[in-house]
Structure 1
């Protein structure tokens, strides 16, 4: 190699590695996908190495590409630091941020929030990954994600986004047809709606098994939105955070001061992506909104005593 790679070519390399497709990288860089392909071809020719394996599914880093990643990230960090200093931290927020969120949280809370937020950021776009599993940040599926399990290895920025409670709910029609629920012991005689047990995205979703008996599951779904519809249709009780429950009265709380589980959502981003102004802007938005809306995550009323439900993480 007679000359060093240009920083702009390495920037194209980083965005393609993160997006996994030419179209995804071109959106982030605001150029044509052919420009991305041409820059990558030039970089590979200059380095004398193949950096990506091409397939119909997209671009995947080769061993040489993986080796180049940390060096390109160091250059990116230096460029961002210089931009911060020279601009007095007044950096324009623009580009695409890919955000991975749990399904119900994404639909009920984050989508309405983003619709208002983006009106004030005309040059910013969001790819919202709403799915019944958590985004894989290790393979750069998302720039940042909300998840139940904070990573214990890898170079990530991690913060507790919010602690929340899952309460029991049922439809008025279901409660009218079945035996009264006056205490926790009565629950063993009732039907439940739950997650498909061999498709759990996290062990933190195993809250029904912690109630002290084997629940009678009448319907299991991979997502909580479907569970809420099933419970509203009268198929059984479900456990859910307050933000999942519609305000139309189709679901009402059951023993909410006696039976509930506590969990935490964690906000996570790879360290190198967290340094990007557009990613930090979305990060700060989520933190500030969660802090300002406690009623979405914990029902009001007298302070109840939680059941001794075991958790995988303290605090």
Structure 2
């Protein structure tokens, strides 16, 4: 190899590696798919290596492609950091941050948090991915994300955002028309609303298994927002963290002594974490988590913990 590859070719390589298809990469790069293919062919010829295995399903990195990937990501991070600094971002954060969060957490907590952020940083924009699953950081679906399972491989900055508890809730009308719940054993006679079990975004969401018996699931949903509405309509008991439960009396705590504890983790690719705009959102979420215990625990548990 007599010359170094062009950075723009490496950018095409990164987007194809993340999207897995020419059409997906072309959408992310806003170019024709033939342009992506031509750039990849040129890069492979220049490096003298095959970077992707082609199939009907798409493009998958070869061993040489996997070896190139971390180097290209480092170059991408350096380019982003240089552009940010030269654009004056050392004084004020600007640009777009893609933040991946669980659906209900994003809707009920994060959206309200962003109003003040925008007031303080008028040149900052957020793409909020409020999903019934967890954002995929490996393919750069998001710049940072809140999740139950932190990345175990790759170059990431990771911190435990908060320990929180899933508590039992039910609609007052449901409790008034069903057998009383005075102890955990009484729960066996009741209906539950839960996640679709073969579509769990994380094994950490199988918290009903901690009841000590197989619950009678009357309705299973792919997301927590639908579960909350179903439980509020009296379809059964559900488990949720305090931040997810509307403060309108439609759901009330049941058997407060029972809970399942989990942790949210905050993660970002190491190269993106260096960007001021990403670090700003990271610090905002950390401050939220550290200073609002009632999002995560019932008041009584907070007092006992203190």
TM category, shorter: 0.7 to 0.9
**Residues of 1 paired with 2:220 and 2:176: CA distance?**
22
Choose from 22, 38, 45 the match for 1:48.
45
Q: 2:25, 2:33 within 8 Å by CA — same for their partners in 1? A: no
Cα displacement (A) at 1:141: 2.2
Cα displacement (A) at 1:273: 2.2
**Residues of 2 paired with 1:274 and 1:280: CA distance?**
6
Q: 1:12, 1:36 within 8 Å by CA — same for their partners in 2? A: no
Cα displacement (A) at 1:230: 0.5
Tell me the equivalent position of 1:298.
297
Cα displacement (A) at 1:203: 1.2
Cα displacement (A) at 1:168: 0.7
Q: How does 1:255-274 map to 2 (within 5 A)?
A: 255-256=255-256, 258-274=257-273
RMSD: 3.5
Question: How many pairs were matched up?
Answer: 297
Q: How does 1:233-248 map to 2 (within 5 A)?
A: 233-248=233-248
Alpha-carbon spacing, 1:219–1:76, altered in 2? closer, same or farther (3 Å): closer
1:98 match: secondary structure: strand
**Residues of 2 paired with 1:92 and 1:241: CA distance?**
35
Alignment of 1:175 onto 2:172: no
Tell me the equivalent position of 2:222.
222
Alpha-carbon spacing, 1:117–1:81, altered in 2? closer, same or farther (3 Å): closer
Cα displacement (A) at 1:283: 1.4
Q: 1:84, 1:91 within 8 Å by CA — same for their partners in 2? A: no
Tell me the equivalent position of 1:231.
231
Alpha-carbon spacing, 1:139–1:11, altered in 2? closer, same or farther (3 Å): closer
**Residues of 2 paired with 1:154 and 1:81: CA distance?**
20
Q: 1:167, 1:240 within 8 Å by CA — same for their partners in 2? A: yes
Q: 1:5, 1:43 within 8 Å by CA — same for their partners in 2? A: no
Alignment of 1:109 onto 2:125: no
Q: 1:164, 1:241 within 8 Å by CA — same for their partners in 2? A: yes
1:301 match: secondary structure: helix
Cα displacement (A) at 1:167: 0.7
Cα displacement (A) at 1:151: 2.2
- 1:25-84, Cα deviation, whole Å (9 max, x unpaired): 4xxxxxxx35999799668647635878999x9x96754655443223333455577789
Alpha-carbon spacing, 1:15–1:126, altered in 2? closer, same or farther (3 Å): farther
Q: 2:18, 2:138 within 8 Å by CA — same for their partners in 1? A: no
Structure 2 stretches lacking a partner, 5+ long: none
Superposition TM-score, scaled by structure 1 size:
0.79
Tell me the equivalent position of 1:141.
141
Q: 2:231, 2:237 within 8 Å by CA — same for their partners in 1? A: yes
- 1:160-205, Cα deviation, whole Å (9 max, x unpaired): 0111111111111001101211122211111111111111111111
**Residues of 2 paired with 1:296 and 1:127: CA distance?**
23
Structure 1 stretches lacking a partner, 5+ long: 26-32, 307-315
Tell me the equivalent position of 2:97.
97
